[in-house]
Amino acid sequence: MRDLSEPQLKQDILRHLTYTLGKDAAHASTYDWRMALSFAIRDRIVEPWFASTRKTWDTGHKRVYYLSMEFLIGRLLEDATINLGLRDMAEQVMAELGQDFRTIVEDEPDAALGNGGLGRLAACFMESMATVGCPAYGYGIRYEHGLFRQRFEGGRQVESPEDWLTQRHPWEFERPEAAYTIPFKGHLETRDGRDVWVPGETVLAEAYDTPVIGWQGKWANTLRLWGAKPTTLFDLDRFNRGDYAAAAAPETLARTLSRVLYPDDTTYQGKELRLKQEFFLTSAALQDILRRFKAGGFMLRDLPKHVAIQMNDTHPAIAGPELIRLLVDENGMEFMEAMEVARACLGYTNHTLLPEALERWATFTFGNVLPRHMQIIERIDHWHRDTYHPPHWVGIVKHHEVRMGELAFIMSHKVNGVSALHSDLVKKNLFAELDGLHPRIINQTNGVTPRRWLKMCNRPLAGLITDTIGEGWEADLDRLRELEPHAKKSAFLADFDAAKRANKVALAGWIKEHCGVTVSADALFDVQVKRIHEYKRQLLNILETIARYHDIKADPKKDWVPRVKIFGGKAAPGYAVAKEIIHLINDVAAVVNSDPDVGDRLKVVYPENYNVSMAERLIPAADLSEQISTAGKEASGTGNMKFMMNGAPTIGTLDGANVEILQEVGDENFFLFGLTAEEVMKRRQNPDHARDAITASQPLQDVLQMIAEGRFSPSEPGRYHELVHRVWHHDYFLVASDFDAYREAQAQVDTAYADRKRWLRMAALNTARSGFFSSDRTIRGYMADVWDVKSAL
């Protein structure tokens, strides 16, 4: 076994600095030190990683394959040191080498290979699968450019490309030997009565492996990301003729496949490149799975005994037809048997009900890019229709479109939603008919990893928890319940308060530095961070902020509870309405923050470029968690769980996992407001719902009036006319209908916050009762109910 001592770590860091980086300590930069430390830490992951792989092979253990177009992993260095139990040692050793550990850690760029919730969930799942000892591979794409960088110019969002790979990525191992040919386009031929696909284009998928180490280093799995390469390297003839650009064309074309992450979250566009990316990931993964399976010497019909494949939303839903193609065309299996084998391996997780986010491909595009798959899909669809006689509007191919949700459903043995409410809606609305024919919908409520989202990001609170209930809660989060009796004691509450305050003071310093705004750590930090989308209703939040501003101006002497409204999040580049909301928030911030009548009573801050590492900074410092989506629209939410763990009560609607948070924490520790999912449906039947709500609410009228008058856009008074018009006439997400209830709930927050003891108790109980939201619990649920896999530990 490797020597895990402090002198050995120091020696390894210096060795890597010298021999891997080729740098003399006297001239090494922060980057060089970070690389040296990362390589030294990575060395300590390799042995447990090999041991895990070996054990899986030796025992013939079933493996899980998690297919996802997104893995939003963020930084890896500190996380790895924490799971190896080397964090404090690393800090100490770096100090001895004259380096500040935080500076080194924060030098690491985020791996931003995802948009939001779905991608971050995949990252939490990878860590939890390693922690609970579930043998697993994550399969994704090694995007050269992750999610775009956001900055504000005159309050407007401006995007620029992200380029995390311009620096060396010390966590991955390139695997040139693990490469597969991915076919596209071309045509079908019949040979000896069999359909043969003659592809028109091919690219190579090359593997890059990142080990993922679980808590206490007991198990490690692999995140295998595919990079695209040309199958024909270079056109030498053209080069020799002097046509250099054309010579390099095949290379450029192939590489576009793994060039950039699509920045659309919840809106779907039928772009051919996206379909190619989805197939590129899926085909490479399945070829790799079959290669590994065959190396074990098993019969293909036994695939489901050894392999569970999970589709993270429909993005890899081509897995059904592709697995059939590989089994039938390349391995000679009968079609019907291949379909049964595929179905027994596959599971599908749905992450959204929003109709605009459900993937549908024009049969024209689909048949052009993947002619053989189009043929297989039609065969599945015919078989399904002839065998089960579904209603005429149900099927995979309808109105010249391939519906990926229906395809994923029919090709999976289990389909799950991501919160109790969401799974219920998937069953009753989205797949009602299909579930009637083939009952297979279950629920697996999301979770988050408490190692990153509590232990790592909130050292003051994590320390207090360990001091209070001892070690071991990190992998047994239900133990946080043991904090409950302490939540009555003033000494504990004072310590809890001190931990939160330390985080707030640190955040206030960061806000000063990054936004130029001075905020008081005594104020209530009210945080809404997530993608900007109409259904998430950042607009409702900013309207309430304006109402508060209006009231402060009218009565500055009242004993206002000081508030800092913190926003964070990106809008999809083409989502004009979301971008307008960003602009409005920034405009309101400019006016409010510079109004001398307001002072510390209200501040609005919106730091640029929200990402995983910013979340790690904001969430531990939050007093209040904003989870205010229109009921029925947020599948689960996972930020909501992170805030709860970090001792921030929620102000929220009965949506997604909020329902279960409320259930766990109790209604006296949650600020509930707003229409329910059912009431939302009813309310929409009244075409005048917005006008009725606005005319009934003087405060809302005042707010809309202020915006319409240009109070926040004096240089362009008409800037928000359209926005205000939309609230009056096209308020699909019921901002107006929920406004008064939200404002009332915010008033209750103020009252509760002013009562220190009451507030601290609420906050502490949120942490104490958050155990259910560990992704370890979620993963155990999938292992038992979907994958039929046992822990290998």
- Residues with a catalytic annotation lie at 351, 530-531, 536, 638, 642
Give residues 120-159 in contact with ligand 26W (rule: CB under 6 A).
Answer: 121
Tokens 């479109």 locate to 401
Among the listed ranges 75-83, 142-150, 631-639, 667-675, the one in contact with ligand 26W (CB under 6 A) is: 631-639
The residue among 508, 529, 491, 559 whose CA lies nearest residue 760 is: 491
| Shortest reach from residue 365's CB to ligand 26W, in Å | 14
According to CB under 6 A, which one of 37, 72, 118, 644 is a site residue for ligand 26W?
A: 118
Q: Is 652 in the site for ligand 26W (CB under 6 A)?
A: no
| Shortest reach from residue 315's CB to ligand 26W, in Å | 6
Q: Which amino acid is at 598?
A: V
| Shortest reach from residue 120's CB to ligand 26W, in Å | 8
Q: Is 359 in the site for ligand 26W (CB under 6 A)?
A: yes
| Shortest reach from residue 239's CB to ligand 26W, in Å | 38
**Toward ligand 26W, which CB reaches closer, 36 or 635?**
635
**Toward ligand 26W, which CB reaches closer, 146 or 170?**
146
| Shortest reach from residue 128's CB to ligand 26W, in Å | 14
Among the listed ranges 3-11, 351-359, 604-612, 619-627, the one in contact with ligand 26W (CB under 6 A) is: 351-359
| Shortest reach from residue 117's CB to ligand 26W, in Å | 3
According to CB under 6 A, which one of 313, 616, 664, 731 is a site residue for ligand 26W?
A: 313
SS3 at position 517: coil
Q: Is 117 in the site for ligand 26W (CB under 6 A)?
A: yes
Among the listed ranges 86-94, 224-232, 330-338, 630-638, the one in contact with ligand 26W (CB under 6 A) is: 630-638
Q: Is 201 in the site for ligand 26W (CB under 6 A)?
A: no
| Shortest reach from residue 257's CB to ligand 26W, in Å | 16
Residue 428 CA to residue 424 CA, distance in Å, equals: 6
Q: Is 405 in the site for ligand 26W (CB under 6 A)?
A: no
**Toward ligand 26W, which CB reaches closer, 278 or 381?**
278
What is the dihedral angle through the alpha carbons of 138, 144, 148, 151, rounded to the nearest 10 degrees?
130
Beta-strand relationship, 111-113 and 71-74: antiparallel
Please check whether residue 227 is in contact with residue 259, taking contact to mean a CB–CB distance below 8 angstroms: no
Q: Is 608 in the site for ligand 26W (CB under 6 A)?
A: no
Q: Is 630 in the site for ligand 26W (CB under 6 A)?
A: no
Q: Count the residues of the shown chain that bind ligand 26W, applying the rule CB under 6 A.
A: 22
**Toward ligand 26W, which CB reaches closer, 637 or 771?**
637
| Shortest reach from residue 659's CB to ligand 26W, in Å | 12
Q: Which amino acid is at 778?
A: T
Please check whether residue 413 is in contact with residue 343, taking contact to mean a CB–CB distance below 8 angstroms: yes
According to CB under 6 A, which one of 74, 109, 116, 450 is a site residue for ligand 26W?
A: 116
The residue among 74, 104, 105 whose CA lies nearest residue 449 is: 74
- Phi then psi for residue 524, to 5 deg, are -80, 120
**Toward ligand 26W, which CB reaches closer, 546 or 657?**
657
Among the listed ranges 202-210, 360-368, 437-445, 633-641, the one in contact with ligand 26W (CB under 6 A) is: 633-641
Among the listed ranges 96-104, 150-158, 632-640, 776-784, the one in contact with ligand 26W (CB under 6 A) is: 632-640
Residue 187 CA to residue 194 CA, distance in Å, equals: 14
- Phi then psi for residue 336, to 5 deg, are -65, -40
**Toward ligand 26W, which CB reaches closer, 629 or 746?**
629
**Toward ligand 26W, which CB reaches closer, 122 or 465?**
122
Q: Is 409 in the site for ligand 26W (CB under 6 A)?
A: no
Q: Please list, in sequence order, all residues whose beta carbon lies within 8 angstroms of the beta carbon of residue 248, skipping any fewer than 6 positions away.
A: 234, 235
Q: Is 543 in the site for ligand 26W (CB under 6 A)?
A: no
According to CB under 6 A, which one of 38, 277, 638, 650 is a site residue for ligand 26W?
A: 638
Q: Is 577 in the site for ligand 26W (CB under 6 A)?
A: no
**Toward ligand 26W, which CB reaches closer, 380 or 572?**
572
Residue 599 CA to residue 754 CA, distance in Å, equals: 18
| Shortest reach from residue 125's CB to ligand 26W, in Å | 10
**Toward ligand 26W, which CB reaches closer, 195 or 264?**
264
**Toward ligand 26W, which CB reaches closer, 313 or 660?**
313
Tokens 């919730």 locate to 117
Query: Three-state secondary structure along 256-277?
Result: HHHCECCCCCCCCCCCHHHHHH
Q: Is 656 in the site for ligand 26W (CB under 6 A)?
A: yes
SS3 at position 79: helix
Sign of torsion over alpha carbons 591, 596, 602, 604: positive
What residues form DSSP beta bridges with 529? 568
Residue 685 CA to residue 664 CA, distance in Å, equals: 33
Q: Is 351 in the site for ligand 26W (CB under 6 A)?
A: yes
CA angle in degrees (0–180, nearest 5) for 550-556-562: 85
Return the residue nearest ligand 26W (CB atom). 117
Residue 601 CA to residue 591 CA, distance in Å, equals: 14
| Shortest reach from residue 656's CB to ligand 26W, in Å | 5
Query: Residue 526 carries which DSSP code?
Result: E
Give residues 259-288 in contact with ligand 26W (rule: CB under 6 A).
Answer: 264-266, 268
The residue among 404, 313, 406 whose CA lies nearest residue 352 is: 313
**Toward ligand 26W, which CB reaches closer, 607 or 656?**
656
Q: Please list, in sequence order, all residues whose beta carbon lies within 8 angstroms of the beta carbon of residue 489, skipping any fewer than 6 positions away.
A: none
| Shortest reach from residue 264's CB to ligand 26W, in Å | 5
| Shortest reach from residue 705's CB to ligand 26W, in Å | 33
Tokens 């069999």 locate to 194
What is the dihedral angle through the alpha carbons of 162, 166, 167, 171, rounded to the nearest 10 degrees?
80
According to CB under 6 A, which one of 357, 437, 521, 724 is a site residue for ligand 26W?
A: 357
Residue 774 CA to residue 642 CA, distance in Å, equals: 9
Q: Is 637 in the site for ligand 26W (CB under 6 A)?
A: yes
Q: What is the x/- site pattern for ligand 26W, positions 205-244, by CB under 6 A?
A: ----------------------------------------
The residue among 504, 571, 573, 572 whose CA lies nearest residue 538 is: 571
**Toward ligand 26W, which CB reaches closer, 349 or 737?**
349
Residue 297 CA to residue 328 CA, distance in Å, equals: 19
Among the listed ranges 113-121, 224-232, 381-389, 496-504, the one in contact with ligand 26W (CB under 6 A) is: 113-121
Query: Residue 629 carries which DSSP code?
Result: P
The residue among 606, 596, 605 whose CA lies nearest residue 552 is: 596
Residue 104 CA to residue 102 CA, distance in Å, equals: 5
Q: Is 612 in the site for ligand 26W (CB under 6 A)?
A: no
Q: What is the x/- site pattern for ligand 26W, positions 69-88, by CB under 6 A?
A: --------------------
Sheet strands side by side (includes 563-568): 602-605, 563-568, 524-529, 624-627, 650-652, 671-672
Q: Please list, in sequence order, all residues whose beta carbon lies within 8 angstroms of the beta carbon of residue 494, skipping any fewer than 6 positions away.
A: none
| Shortest reach from residue 542's CB to ligand 26W, in Å | 21
Q: Which amino acid is at 248?
A: A
The residue among 439, 107, 763, 413 whose CA lies nearest residue 426 is: 439
Residue 667 CA to residue 36 CA, distance in Å, equals: 50
Q: Is 746 in the site for ligand 26W (CB under 6 A)?
A: no
Residue 220 CA to residue 212 CA, distance in Å, equals: 5
Give residues 432-471 in contact with ligand 26W (rule: CB under 6 A).
Answer: 446
Segments of 490-547 assigned E as strands: 524-529
Q: Is 352 in the site for ligand 26W (CB under 6 A)?
A: yes
Binding site for ligand 26W (CB under 6 A): 115-118, 121, 264-266, 268, 313, 351-352, 357, 359, 418, 446, 634-638, 656
